[in-house]
Structure formats: structure tokens, C-alpha cells
Amino acid sequence: MSKTVTITGRGIILPDDNIDTDRIIPSRFLKCVTFDNLGGDVLADDRSAQRKAGAIHPFDDPRYHRATILITGANFGSGSSREHAVHALTKWNKDESGGIKAIIAKGKYSEIFFGNAMANGLVCLMVGARDWLDLTEMVEHDPQQKITINFDKMAVSLGQKTWALEFQQPAAREALLSGSWDNLTTLLEAKDAVDARLTTLPYLS
Amino acid sequence: MAQNTLYNKIFDLHKIRQLPTGEWQVAVGLHLIHEVTSPQAFSMLKERGLPVAHPELTFAVVDHVVPTEDLSRPLSDPLAEEMLQHLEVNCHEWNIKFFDLASPEQGIVHVVGPELGLTQPGKIICCGDSHTSTHGALGALAFGIGTTQVAMVLGTSSLALSELKVRRIEITGKLSKGVYAKDVILKIISVLGVKAGWGYAYEYGGSTVADMSMAERMTLCNMSIEGGAICGYVNPDQITVDYLRGRQYVPHDPKKFDQLSQWWLTLASNPKEVKYDDVVKFDVNNLEPMVTWGTNPGQGIGISERIPEPKTADDQDALDYMKFKPGEFLKNKPVGVVFIGSCTNGRLEDFVQAAQVVKGHHVAPGVRALVVPGSRLVKQEAERLGLDKIFRVAGFSWREPGCSMCIAMNPDKLIGDEICAATSNRNYRGRQGSPVGRTILMSPAMAAAAAVAGKIVDLRNEIFNFY
């Protein structure tokens, strides 16, 4: 994976806390053997509920059409370990905007989701509660403005304003800056040691 | 950090090296795979030209997409058939043991692992499924992983993990009649919340847990993830040893089994030397049957309690979705569907408890009631006891084993905003297949009572055979 220092893009807001993986991609869309076509159905039930209520969901709102940075509440991605949720976000509007590339939440993410997202290059960040409100207001006011996330400075900026960012796992920043998020390659380096250990485990020997 | 807990002992045993990120590379002793989260992982390996490192430590089941009425091939849903075929091809190509639809051992991965004795104390067990925490009931470290991690385990039999903290959940008291492990775990999550387990493994212990059967312990550990803990466990004891003796994948030589089981018992957290990061205590003497009113598993109350005033916007959204009002009782809410099954409550004991309530009664008019065994072995044993007849005579549909209406990736789905009394683990919006479907989580006996009454009842007060 290449080194990542900054991500720049427009914002989109889902203010709720506890958005679970079944909301991000309802289970009926999981019948697939590749992750390629999940983008269109991201948040499908929330979006259709809004349509039925005569309202417009942010993911259908033309104002947010080319957004790549999702701003959301705490405990995002709770529930299942299915990586489909990550891919539904990263493949939303893929052709036009390139999909969601980063998430800024006002609290921690569900742990399995965090791991899944980072492993697939969807960067999960946090800001303080007050900063989150400021950021949300500014994006709502003008969704066309570009947000810049800088991992070197661990800051997010929009217009004249800058706020401090945080990772829920400090190792994540290191991995992004050094480009070493590819765990499979790293793990393979110690394959012989793993094989040796397996032969000595009491339940396998 | 915690010291000398079962968690620490197993983690240390499997540690290979510390990575530059601070995480540990840890060996994985058992990898369970299924049709939903593995095809993409096999593709990732193939893209890189990597083989499966240890097919002999890898076992596959088909569970999520199983149609529970008609198992004939090709499956009626072409997408489900495609997923099944991918698993067949991948298992064949890599020589992985696959308990397929025709196998006598087929079932939900978290029911099959323990009942075949694949799940054992001391193992690190992974599966691309968050309810892998179930296997902790036998004193294993078991947790769900994403598909990228499934590829890592397939390719290297190891993972990069951060060491967790350990929270001891001490449960004491005797459960009243009509109150079960499901009620205990729903209570724990309702008190601690759905985020309290972040960064923790949950160790369940205390006199109540010591008295629990393996099936009850599995129900408890299954829902650890609903409390935010990726991993939950019970220390192995004589109940664990007795449960595993004679099962297919444990040593059949009595001497070897004894040796192994002696080792299992040494893994238990020793109260004299153990240190936890946190301890919480629950007294369950007065616990009543639990039911959920909202759209996450932490939104639960005792059956005699009123739905609480919303404390957050999230609570209010949940009430709006469920079409419930604060101050109402869940008791007497009509149900359209009853689902008894899942990796939480799809074991023989669960069906015995439900059948006790159902016997001599009939499902209320207009209620669709499904009983879905967690595995073919569970189904066979239940049929040997005549439970299928009790359910059928009462008007329940007795199905083939699978995940079914817990996740509705098969034809079993709610319609519209039906209310379902469900023994599964998640009451998320849309979880049971209808975007506006409503799920109320409860124990198998309570769900059975709801089927008979046609509404949510307090089974302790109703005139069922139960008493």
C-alpha cells in the first residue's frame, strides 16, 4: 500500500450514533461473491425510508453527490464482521467521486469495523465533540467546500478552521504514514515461525 | 493490563512476534469459514498467488443462505447457489473439509464447531462472523474477523492483534424458573451498554455460570459482541470436559483425552493469582424474563417494566422505528411472527425449553411460527425426542438447519412492519429481511409463549404446561 499523508474531498453527514452494519448494507444485498457492486445499495433502507417520508437522504442529496469524506456519530459500524459494509461505502458513487475515502466520527468505531475499514484503505478518524459540531455545521452550510485531512499533523481543516484528529488505535497512523498497512505481507515474513509454533501447541501435537 | 487470566495464557501461547505497529502476530489454531465472508478472501489469495497455509486447520460450513424448506440443488435463489458453489470449489481446490448441505454435520458454524469438538479450550479460533465469540463458552479465545483478515488467516494461519483488556463479569444467584442464560446476557448488555466491551474480552464467571450447561454458556458468550466485546469466554471446568468427551474431533484414546483435558483445566484463570482490568457484578436472583423494545440489543427491559423515556436521539429513533411509546408495556404487544433458532438459541436445550411451553397448545391464529434447528445433529436429536412432533402439532413450521430469519439471507423474512418474537441476537432495523420489520429479542421459552398467546406475555404468569 502506498504512503498516505493527506486526503482531500467534500463532506457528507450522517449525524446518528450507532449506525450498524445492517443499516450500512442490509443483509439481503450480501448475496455476492465479489465486493464490486455493493456501492449502489449503501444505506438502502434508510434512503428508501426517507424517500417514502418525502424527505431526501444525504446519500441521495445532489448537494453531497461528490462527497468522499463521511462525517458521522459514535459506534459507527457496530454489529457484524462483514466487510461488505466497508465496501458499500468505498464503492458508493465510485465512478463519479471515487467512493468514501475517510470517515470522521465523534466517537470510537466498532472495533471489527475499524480493522476492516483500515485494512481496505478507508481511514477512520475521530474529532472531539465540539469540533465535530463545528465541522458538521460548516459542511452543512457549504458542502462544496473541500475538507483536508493531514495525517502528518493529525489535523482536519476546512476553510480557515483546523481541528485536531485522533485515531482510536495509535498504530493506524504509523501504518498509513509508512505505507505498511498490508498485513498479509508482514505476516508472511514470519510464516516459518508460525508453522513451528503450530506444531508445539498442546492441542495440535 | 490483566494477568494470568485464561485470555492472557492463551494469547501468550500463540504469540509469534511484536510488529512495528505495536500489535502482535498471533498464530490461529482453528479457522472456520462460511459462504458469505470467504469467497472474496480466496480471491485475494489467488490474486497474490498464495496457497492456503493450513487446510487441516480450516473447516467450512454453509449456513447463512440455506433455504430451510427446500435444500434441493440448485438452490432456488441463484445468488445463494453461486455463493455455495464458490465455497465448494474453494474447499475442493484447497482440500478443506466442508460440511456441505448433504453432510450429517451441516449447520450454523457456531453450533457445529462445539458439537463436533473442533472448538476446544486453549485454542485461538477465528471466523469471518462476529458471533464467533460463542466458542469462548468452551474456554477458547474466539472472535470474528473481516474478510481481509480471513485472507490473512488462510494465507498464514496468523493474525495481527492488539492485546485486549479483560473484564470479569461475576454472575451470582439462582435463576428463577422461566429465566434463562438469554435473559442474563440481555440484562448485562442493557446495564453495561453496547459499547462497554470495546477493547475488552469478557470473562463470565461466578456461581450462576458455574451451574450453567454448555448450551447456556454458549448463549452467554454468543452475545458478547452485542455488548461491544469481540471475545467472551468461560473458564473450562468439569462441565466443559464432560461436554467434549467422545466428540468427533477430540482424541478418542481415553488416555490422550485425559492428558489434553488436564491441560485445559490448567488454563482457567486462577483466583489466587489473577488480575483483571475491571470487574462487574450481577446478582440474578430476581432477574425476570428480558425483552427488547428498541433497535439495538442493549435496549432491553424486564417483562414487567415499562418502556423507558428516551435518553438520547438514538433512543427516540428506535422508538419511532418500533412504533412504541415510552411508558408502554411490551406485554400484550401482538406478534405476527415467532422465530426460534440461530447461533444464540438454536441448540437442543433451547428447543426442549420451547417445547415444554408449547406442548398441548396451539400457535395463535394469524401467527407464523418457525423453529429452525442450529444443526443437522441438533435436528436429529430433537426428532429423536419427538420435539418436532410437539412443534408441528402445535402449528409451528419445523425447518432444516441454518441461520434463517436471524439475518434473512434466505427466503425466511418478515413482511412489512411485522413484529417478530425472536430468539436471535440482533434487533437491528431491517435485520430480519423487511426494511421496516420489527424484532423483539427474548429467550426460546418466551418466544414459544408469544407464539401460543399471539402476543408478548410473561410466561411465568400464563397457564402453560410450563408450571
Q: What is the largest CA-CA distance in chain A?
A: 64
Task: Kindly identify which residue of chain A lies nearest to residue B39, measuring between CA atoms.
Answer: A33
> Mind telling me how many Å the CA of B393 is from chain A's nearest CA?
32
Interchain contact, A86 vs B146, CB within 8 Å: yes
Which residue from B16, B20, B44 is facing A193, i.e. has the nearest CB? Answer: B16
CA dist A3 and A6 (Å) reads 9
Q: Quick check: B466 pLDDT over 80?
A: no
**Does A197 sit within 8 Å of B430, measured CB to CB?**
no
Model confidence over B317-367: pLDDT tens digits?
A: 999 999 999 999 999 999 999 999 999 999 999 999 999 999 999 999 999
3-state helix, strand, coil in chain A (%, to 5): 40, 20, 40
The residue-averaged pLDDT of B244-256 equals 97
Q: What is the pLDDT of residue B257?
A: 98
Q: Is the pLDDT of residue B135 over 80?
A: yes
The architecture CATH gives domain B6-161: 2-Layer Sandwich (3.30)
The yes-or-no verdict on residue B467 having pLDDT over 70 is no
Percentage of chain B lying above the pLDDT 70 cut: 99
Task: Determine the average pLDDT of the residues in B435-439.
Answer: 96
Q: Which fold has domain B166-283?
A: Aconitase; Domain 2 (3.40.1060)
Shortest CA distance from A111: residue in chain B: B198
Domain edges within chain B: 6-161, 166-283, 290-453
- Partner residue opposite B16 with nearest CB, options A26, A86, A190: A190
Q: Do A28 and B408 touch (CB under 8 A)?
A: yes
Instruction: Tell me what the mean pLDDT of segment B405-420 comes to.
Output: 96
Cα separation, A15 vs A71, in Å, equals 7
B6-161 and B290-453, same CATH topology: yes
Nearest-neighbour CA in chain B from A122: distance (Å): 13
pLDDT at B463: 64
3-state secondary structure B219-257: HHHHHHHHHCCCEEEECCCHHHHHHHCCCCCCCCCHHHH
Q: How far is B276 from chain A (nearest CA, A)?
A: 21
Tell me the pLDDT of chain A (205 aa) as tens digits.
467 789 999 999 999 999 999 999 998 899 999 999 999 999 999 999 999 999 999 999 999 989 999 999 999 999 888 899 999 999 999 888 899 999 999 999 998 899 999 989 899 999 999 999 999 999 999 999 999 999 999 999 999 999 999 999 878 887 788 776 678 989 999 999 999 999 999 999 7
User: What pLDDT, on a 0 to 100 scale, did the predictor assign at position A180?
Assistant: 63
All residues of chain B having their beta carbon less than 8 Å from the beta carbon of residue A110 are: 198, 228
Is the pLDDT reported for residue B413 higher than 90? yes
Cite the DSSP H helix spans in B37-146: 39-48, 78-94, 109-115
Q: Are B50 and B182 spatial neighbours (Cβ–Cβ below 8 Å)?
A: no
- Which architecture characterizes domain A6-180 according to CATH? Alpha-Beta Barrel (3.20)
* Chain B residues touching A23 at Cβ < 8 A: 428-430
Cis peptide, bond prior to residue B74, ω within 30 of zero: yes
Assess whether pLDDT exceeds 80 at residue B462: no
Q: In sequence order, what are the residues at sequence separation of 6 or more whose Cβ sits closer than 8 angstroms to the Cβ of residue B153?
A: B28, B31, B126, B145, B159
| Closest in B44, B157, B199 to A194, CB measured | B157
Of A26, A180, A188, which is closest to B156 when you measure between CB atoms?
A: A188
pLDDT band at B163 (very low <50, low <70, confident <90, very high): very high
Tell me the average pLDDT of chain B.
96
Q: Kindly list the distances between the CA atom of residue B373 and the CA atoms of B30, B60, B115, B254, B370, in Å, as whole numbers in the listed order.
A: 24, 18, 13, 31, 10
Q: Transcribe B191-218 into DSSP letters.
A: HH-SSTTTTEEEEEESHHHHT--HHHHH
pLDDT at A2: 63
Calculate mean pLDDT across residues B49-58.
Answer: 98
Q: What is the ipTM of this complex?
A: 0.92
Inter-chain residue contact B37 with A83, CB threshold 8 Å: yes
Give exposure, A57-92, as e/b (b: 16+ Cβ within 10 Å). Answer: bbbeeeebeebbbbbbbbbbbbbbbbbbbbbbbbbb
DSSP B462: S
Top residue of B130, B131, B244 to mutate, by most chain A CBs within 10 Å, is B130
For B240-267, b/e burial (b = at least 16 CB within 10 A) is bbebbeebebbbeeeeebeebbeebeeb
CA-nearest of B223, B61, B12 to B136 is B223
Alpha-carbon distance of B90 to B55, in angstroms, equals 11
- Check residue B59 and report its DSSP letter: E
Q: Is B394 exposed, middle or buried (0-12, 13-18, 19+ CB in 10 A)?
A: buried
**Alpha helices, DSSP H, located in A60-182:** 84-90, 94-97, 111-119, 129-141, 171-178
In this structure, what C-alpha cell is assigned to residue B152? Answer: 490473512
pLDDT, average across residues B374-390: 98
pLDDT tens digits, one per residue of B355-374: 999 999 999 999 999 999 99
Give the architecture-level CATH label for domain B290-453.
2-Layer Sandwich (3.30)
Find the mean pLDDT for residues B64-74.
95
